[in-house]
Amino acid sequence: MTKVVVVGNGMAGARTVEEILARGDGFAITMFGEEPYGNYNRILLSNVLSGAEEEDGIFLNSLGWYAENGIDLRAGVRVTRIDTFAKVVHADDGSVTAYDKLVIATGSTPFVPPVKGMHHPRRGFHQGVFAFRTLDDTRAMVRYARDHERAVVIGGGLLGLEAARGLQTHGVEVTLVHAAGHLMNAQLDAQGGGILRRSVERLGITVRLPARTTEILGRDRVEGVRFADGNSVACDMVVVAAGIRPNVALAQASGLPVERGIVVDDQLRVQDEPDVYAVGECVQHRGATYGLVAPLWEQAKVLADHLTGRDPKAAYHGSRTATKLKVAGVDVAAMGIVAPERDDDEFVVFAEPKRGVYKSVVIRDDRIVGATLLGDVHKVGFLMQAFDRGLPLPQERVRLLFDLGGPSEEVAAAELDDSAQVCNCNGVTKGAIAATVHGGVKTLGGVMDATRAGKGCGSCKTLVSQIVEWAAGGAVEEDPSAGWYVPGVPLSKPELMAAIRERGLRSVSSVFDALAGGREDAKSKMGLVSLLRMMWGDEYVDERDARFINDRVHANIQKDGTFSVVPQMKGGCTTPQQLRRIADVAERYALPLVKVTGGQRIDLLGVRKEDLPKVWAELDMPSGYAYGKSFRTVKTCVGADFCRFGLGDSTALGIAIESRFQGLESPGKLKLAVTGCPRNCAEAYVKDLGVVAVEGGRWEIYVGGAAGAHVRKGDLLATVDSPAEVLALTGRFIQYYRESANWLERTYAWVPRVGIEHLRAVLVEDSEGLCAGLDARVQAAVDAYRDPWKEGAEPATPGQFRESLPLTVVGNGARATGPVPAVGSAVAGEST
Amino acid sequence: MTAAAVEYRLGPVADLPVGEGRLYTVDGVGVAVFRLRDGSLRAVSAVCPHAGGPIADGLADAEVVICPLHQHVFELATGCSRTGQAPLRVYPVRDDGGELVIGVEQ
Ligand code: SRM
Ligand SMILES: Cc1cc2nc3c(=O)[nH]c(=O)nc-3n(C[C@H](O)[C@H](O)[C@H](O)COP(=O)(O)OP(=O)(O)OC[C@H]3O[C@@H](n4cnc5c(N)ncnc54)[C@H](O)[C@@H]3O)c2cc1C
Ligand code: SF4
Ligand code: FES
């Protein structure tokens, strides 16, 4: 058995022992700890001070753990001297303990500046003066704060801020004094420090800067502090949080090499001492000392690898650390250097003092060498990793500080909690996605099918794919179907269209037969219907079973199996007669809701399937197509006829566009708008196609805008002189979109994919000579238009409008439970 | 063990359009009956276990039906969900000289 003695039972000492135990046995371990406890998480003392955490909650290893692992714990015993020749340690209980290997992990001690009156002549610290390092310190502060009113905290760094905030929760009025010109000056520049100061003051903490404390006032009890400028502040207690110093007293007394800390090499071995190691805040490695836990986790691993012989080559190369402030409501994260140091360092800064937000990044040779986040720290994960590992950075540096548009950054996946809800539509957590991947599903599509993550509004799809990648550890399999138009036919859209044309395939089933080996695929049907109708117009052979229910009954299915009916209301304009009919229908069929939609028309909700034909007949209005992947609406504003700013007759043009292109099927919905001036009341900038009247009788046409799950301003396609030109370009754009976009690809994705320059060239300048063909084909489609609501009079299939749920419940209450619409009334047959 | 089943006649097969499903009420419960493109018949419970969607309104192929509300997928032959939902119940169904006949185990 190798005898290992560890001096210091703090975070580094205990972690090293854990790491040693994890690597095997054969070690007889003795641990000395000056504090009379097992090992606890020192970081959480801030929470104990603020009352956010109970003392019991911060212990890392119970006394039982030491016993179970055969560790001889000498709690409350201080080692006084190390004899490296005799290889023994002497302790203040008189014991002498022999070692084969010695680990020194004595941590740090608070730095107490030389201030008059700090120390009581006999009792050490003046009563009422506290340091903030140990559990005992914390308990003493809490006890004292309970029955005193005013505290001064000396030190405006991390520890001081946490102490100040913690004391406040005990009803103490706190003044924070700091000798430097701004708070957290080791981590922040002056501007950031200024913003932090305001955030801290908003919490009710008084800040005094720069203020060097020169004296503690009061003989028997603390009465105040005095500063170098002669001013003073009255108080009953003082907390010193002015920094830490490596605790090297023992090492020094024992003749070990000490500079600022105990000098160690890359194996954490004390210089010139083959059997003595040091770890944690007490060490100085390659000139650096640390005051955070992350480095000591790394050190403990290396030391354990080395001591146990697990990895003789293990070496510690130093750490890059990031600081985070643990004060509720004041988020600070900082890493690396504070400000640019060289001429060619890049410095990206964003400051919004009012909101307490400040962010900066220092970049050198395309690597992050420093970053500060204040008030909004959600990018810290990426910055930290980029800083630590030298990850490549986005060309647009602003993306380092903000998520622009899309969902979060690449590394978000790894950082998210397992319980984090990724898909808010379908309530799918990161854990569920990861479990599916671990269960063997290695394609994005497969995971989406299995969990339905990303199948709601779709805005989380990027994140889902990142999580899949992360969970598969790089072993993501390419979705073979990713490039196919629909999952059940192994062809891209251009290939599929060519094959369909070549073989004259006019129905969905003939496509499956000819191009998918006769294998029908329910998921592919809707997309094929859309494509074939677009391609063949009148010649398309309709198979009703290939349609989605909405397209079978020309209404949008609702959660209870009823449908919504949205009649066409071109450009949002209606008449008293139409309104009267709508009112009558709503009453007659007891519709639970009549609603003005976001698309400038009226929605009749909760219509029973069997009532649909009658509702249409009585409305006597055309379908508004609110249910299809098709041309939907054209929103308009009142425009030149009424509005004092109107520059063009937007209402008339909107109606003309809607009349012309109504109902055309398309890869995704098409929502348009025409607005009478750039004030944009009809929201034309954020439509699939939006038209804006501008000065001089001209019209701007924007395409690829969105304001749904995705928000995007459209790109300017062209500025034209007349409504006729708007109609012509609109038709061309729609047809080109119909022919080349992927199934369900909205224009907000398609336009940026193909590029607005490309669209301008093809559609405006006719660079590829496509325009005449596009114009002709869209004209044919327009000509083939038939209002589907006329179908009601004669059902297209038997039972087209038969109910499909055993009973219909609408809105809050149960409406009409019967008659249960079963045609074949059951006749008891023979039993078997 | 012989499972006792009662059979019910539901009317002409011709009332069921090819490739589509329709709701029938059998012995007080809803059953969605599908006539597949190859002519074979399938019958499953009519209400989606996910959130009560109308299975008879779903898109179907030779193997599965997709609930129209949230696109959960169920095998028509076994009722099992391919998207992690509880299964649909399956009923034996046949074409008896142009008439739909369904069996309900007692
Ligand atoms: C009725 C209406 C809400 C309202 O009460 O105002 C509505 C209702 C629905 N919207 Fe919408 N949308 C309505 C205007 C909008 C608008 C605003 C607009 O059209 O000016 C948008 C943003 C523009 C856009 O389309 O991007 C909008 C973006 C969406 C989206 C997100 C599309 C996207 O890719 O970003 C969906 C989901 C989808 O398409 O997959 C959606 C889907 C739906 C569906 C069809 C959900 C569904 O599949 O069943 C809702 C049907 C409710 C029902 O049972 O009838 N609705 N929806 C609006 C009908 C407008 C109309 O008269 O046609
Ligand atoms: C209030 C507070 C908040 C903090 N917050 C953070 C934070 O948010 N993030 C972060 O990364 N870090 C934080 N830290 C720093 C972190 O706690 C230290 O980095 C870490 O505890 C250092 O571990 P260590 O083992 O080196 O030293 P310590 O944990 O101090 O352990 C040293 C131990 O050795 C004992 N010892 C010393 N001399 C002897 C001797 N001669 N004989 C026997 N025993 C001896 C001491 O009693 C002590 O228990 C915080 C520290 C404090 C005090
Ligand atoms: S109407 Fe639109 S926004 Fe409202 S719940 Fe339905 S899909 Fe969502
Ligand atoms: S109710 Fe059937 S999928 Fe949701």
What pLDDT digit, counting tens, does each position of A112-140 carry?
Answer: 988 998 887 666 778 899 999 999 999 99
Task: Give A822's contacts in chain B (Cβ within 8 Å).
Answer: 10, 23-26
Residues A638 and A719 in one domain: yes
Q: Residue A441: its pLDDT value, please?
A: 87
Omega before A819 cis (within 30°)?
yes
pLDDT for residue A719 is more than 80:
yes
Q: Residue A458: its pLDDT value, please?
A: 59
pTM of whole model > 0.90? no
Q: Can you name the residues that pair with A758 across neighbouring β-strands?
A: none
Q: Residue A828: inside a domain, yes or no? A: yes
Are the beta carbons of B52 and A820 separated by less than 8 Å? no
Over residues A610-614, the mean pLDDT reads 94
> How many structural domains is chain A composed of?
7
Residues A608 and A677 in one domain: no
The rounded Å distance from CA A193 to ligand 3 centre is 44
**What is the strand order of the sheet B64-66 is part of?**
B59-60, B64-66, B73-75
Are the beta carbons of B58 and A452 separated by less than 8 Å? no
Mean pLDDT of chain A: 89
Tally A–B CB contacts below 8 A.
Answer: 147
Q: Is A805 on the interface with B (CB under 8 A)?
A: yes
Q: What is the SS3 assignment for A226?
A: strand
The rounded Å distance from CA A285 to ligand 3 centre is 59
Q: What is the Cα–Cα distance from A105 to A90, expressed in whole angstroms?
A: 16
The rounded Å distance from CA A119 to ligand 2 centre is 23
Over residues B67-85, the mean pLDDT reads 92
**To the nearest whole percent, how much of chain A has pLDDT over 70?**
94
Residues A127 and A234 in one domain: yes
**Which of A424, A452, A461, A556 gets mutated to test ligand 1 (max ligand atoms within 8 A of its CB)?**
A556
Over residues A611-639, the mean pLDDT reads 95
Binding-site residue ranges of A: 637, 643, 677, 681
Query: How far apart are the CA of B69 and the nearest CA of chain A, in angstroms?
Result: 7
Are the beta carbons of B19 and A546 separated by less than 8 Å? yes
Are the beta carbons of A452 and B30 separated by less than 8 Å? no
Q: Residue A418: inside a domain, yes or no? A: yes
Q: Residue B75: its pLDDT value, please?
A: 96
Owning domain of residue A336: 320-405
Q: Residue B1: its pLDDT value, please?
A: 42
**What is the strand order of the sheet A88-91 is part of?**
A79-83, A88-91, A96-98
Over residues A233-255, the mean pLDDT reads 95
Across the interface, of A452, A520, A802, the residue whose CB is closest to B83 is: A452
Q: Residue A259: its pLDDT value, please?
A: 95
Strands A224-227 and A232-234: antiparallel
Task: Give A548's contacts in chain B (Cβ within 8 Å).
Answer: 59, 68
Q: What is the Cα–Cα distance from A617 to A496, expressed in whole angstroms?
A: 39
Least confidently predicted of A334-343, A625-634, A699-708: A334-343
Are the beta carbons of A806 and B23 separated by less than 8 Å? yes
Residues A166 and A299 in one domain: no
Residues A780 and A651 in one domain: yes
Residues A344 and A251 in one domain: no
Confidence of residue A403 (pLDDT cuts 50, 70, 90): low
Amino acid code (one letter) for A2: T
Over residues A204-213, the mean pLDDT reads 94
Over residues A347-355, the mean pLDDT reads 90
pLDDT for residue A704 is more than 60:
yes
Are the beta carbons of B17 and A798 separated by less than 8 Å? yes
Residue B44's φ and ψ, nearest 5 degrees, are -135, 165
Residue A603's φ and ψ, nearest 5 degrees, are -105, 130
User: A31, A13 in Cβ contact below 8 A?
Assistant: yes
CATH of the domain at A259: 3.50.50.60
Per the model's pLDDT, the better-predicted residue between A174 and A430 turns out to be: A174
Residues A467 and A489 in one domain: no
Q: Can you name the residues that pair with A699 across neighbouring β-strands?
A: A693, A720
Q: Residue A408: its pLDDT value, please?
A: 47
Q: Residue A512: its pLDDT value, please?
A: 96
Omega before A210 cis (within 30°)?
yes
User: A460, A427 in Cβ contact below 8 A?
Assistant: no
Are the beta carbons of A824 and B9 separated by less than 8 Å? yes
Q: Residue A807: its pLDDT value, please?
A: 57
Least confidently predicted of A50-64, A227-241, A768-782, B9-23: A50-64
Q: Residue A123: its pLDDT value, please?
A: 65
Confidence of residue A58 (pLDDT cuts 50, 70, 90): confident
Q: Residue A452: inside a domain, yes or no? A: yes
pLDDT for residue A830 is more than 70:
no
Q: What is the Cα–Cα distance from A618 to A585, expressed in whole angstroms?
A: 7
Q: Give the largest CA-CA distance in chain B.
A: 39
pLDDT for residue A812 is more than 60:
no
Are the beta carbons of B103 and A832 separated by less than 8 Å? yes
Q: What is the Cα–Cα distance from A716 to A683, expressed in whole angstroms?
A: 14
Q: Residue B3: its pLDDT value, please?
A: 56
pLDDT for residue A827 is more than 60:
no
Residues A127 and A169 in one domain: yes
Across the interface, of B6, B21, B100, the residue whose CB is closest to A828 is: B6
Binding-site residue ranges of A for siroheme: 681
Q: What is the Cα–Cα distance from B37 to B59, expressed in whole angstroms?
A: 12
Q: What is the Cα–Cα distance from A554 to A480, expressed in whole angstroms?
A: 34
Residue B53 Cβ inside 6 Å of ligand 4? The answer reads yes
Q: Residue A269: inside a domain, yes or no? A: yes
Distance (Å) of CA A667 to CA A168, A274, A486, A708, A787: 60, 73, 11, 17, 20
CATH of the domain at A430: 1.10.10.1100
Q: Is A518 on the interface with B (CB under 8 A)?
A: no
Q: Residue A811: its pLDDT value, please?
A: 33
Neighbours of A667 (CB within 10 A): 26
Summarize pLDDT for A254-296 with one digit per residue, the tens.
999 999 999 999 999 999 999 999 999 999 999 999 998 888 9
| Chain B residue whose CA is closest to A525 | B59
Confidence of residue A38 (pLDDT cuts 50, 70, 90): confident
User: A773, A721 in Cβ contact below 8 A?
Assistant: no
Amino acid code (one letter) for A689: L
Domain B5-105 has CATH 2.102.10.10: yes
- Residue A552's H or E segment, with its range, is helix A549-553
Rg over CA atoms, chain B:
13
Residue nearest to atom 20 of ligand 1 (CA): A599
Residues A385 and A419 in one domain: no
**To the nearest whole percent, how much of chain A has pLDDT over 90?**
67
Residues A252 and A104 in one domain: yes
User: A785, A778 in Cβ contact below 8 A?
Assistant: no
For chain B, domain boundaries: 5-105
Query: How far apart are the CA of A544 and the nearest CA of chain B, in angstroms?
Result: 8
Q: Which of B1, B2, B23 is the mutation pick for testing A, counting most A CBs within 10 A? A: B23
Confidence of residue A55 (pLDDT cuts 50, 70, 90): confident
Pick the ligand that lies closest to the CA of residue A425: 3
In three-state form (DSSP H/G/I as H, E/B as E, the rest C), the secondary structure along A601-657 is: CEEEEEECHHHHHHHHHHHCCCECCCCCCEEEEEEECCHHHCCCCCCCCHHHHHHHH
Q: Which pair of tokens denotes residue A822?
A: 């079963």
Q: Which pair of tokens denotes residue A198?
A: 């305001």
Quote the ipTM score.
0.74
Cα B10 off chain centre by? 13
Q: Residue A50: inside a domain, yes or no? A: yes
Q: Can you name the residues that pair with A324 across neighbouring β-strands?
A: A333
Measured CA angle at A56 (ends A53, A57), to 5 deg: 50
Q: Which pair of tokens denotes residue A67?
A: 């016993």
User: A41, A11 in Cβ contact below 8 A?
Assistant: yes
The rounded Å distance from CA B61 to ligand 3 centre is 29
Which ligand 2 atom is the nearest neighbour of the CA of A80?
Answer: 41
The rounded Å distance from CA A711 to ligand 1 centre is 14
Pick the ligand that lies closest to the CA of residue A244: 2
Confidence of residue A809 (pLDDT cuts 50, 70, 90): very low
Query: How far apart are the CA of B56 and the nearest CA of chain A, in angstroms?
Result: 6
Summarize pLDDT for B36-69 with one digit per residue, the tens.
999 999 999 999 999 999 999 999 999 999 999 9
Q: Residue A459: its pLDDT value, please?
A: 58
Confidence of residue A818 (pLDDT cuts 50, 70, 90): very low
Q: Residue A795: inside a domain, yes or no? A: no
Q: Residue A392: inside a domain, yes or no? A: yes
Residue A236's φ and ψ, nearest 5 degrees, are -110, -15
Task: Give B101's contacts in chain A (Cβ within 8 Å).
Answer: 829
Over residues A141-151, the mean pLDDT reads 93
Per the model's pLDDT, the better-predicted residue between A306 and A64 turns out to be: A306
**Which of B45, B47, B50 gets mutated to test ligand 4 (max ligand atoms within 8 A of its CB)?**
B50
The rounded Å distance from CA A257 to ligand 1 centre is 73
Summarize pLDDT for A745-765 with one digit per residue, the tens.
999 999 998 999 999 999 999
Are the beta carbons of A822 and B24 separated by less than 8 Å? yes
Q: What is the Cα–Cα distance from B44 to B56, expressed in whole angstroms?
A: 9
Q: Is A826 on the interface with B (CB under 8 A)?
A: yes
Residues 6 or more apart whose Cβ sits within 8 Å of residue A802? A609, A610, A821, A823, B22, B23
Owner of token pair 């193909």: A754
Q: Residue A19: inside a domain, yes or no? A: yes
Residues A643 and A777 in one domain: yes
Measured CA angle at A461 (ends A457, A465), to 5 deg: 160
The rounded Å distance from CA A45 to ligand 2 centre is 11
User: A490, A512 in Cβ contact below 8 A?
Assistant: no
**Which of A426, A669, A680 gets mutated to test ligand 1 (max ligand atoms within 8 A of its CB)?**
A669
Distance (Å) of CA A5 to CA A42, A77, A303, B21: 22, 13, 14, 77
Q: Residue B80: its pLDDT value, please?
A: 94
Q: Which pair of tokens denotes residue A104?
A: 């020194």
Q: Can you name the residues that pair with A720 across neighbouring β-strands?
A: A699
DSSP B85: P
Residues A653 and A771 in one domain: yes
Residue B66 Cβ inside 6 Å of ligand 4? The answer reads no
Are the beta carbons of A805 and B46 separated by less than 8 Å? yes
DSSP A96: E
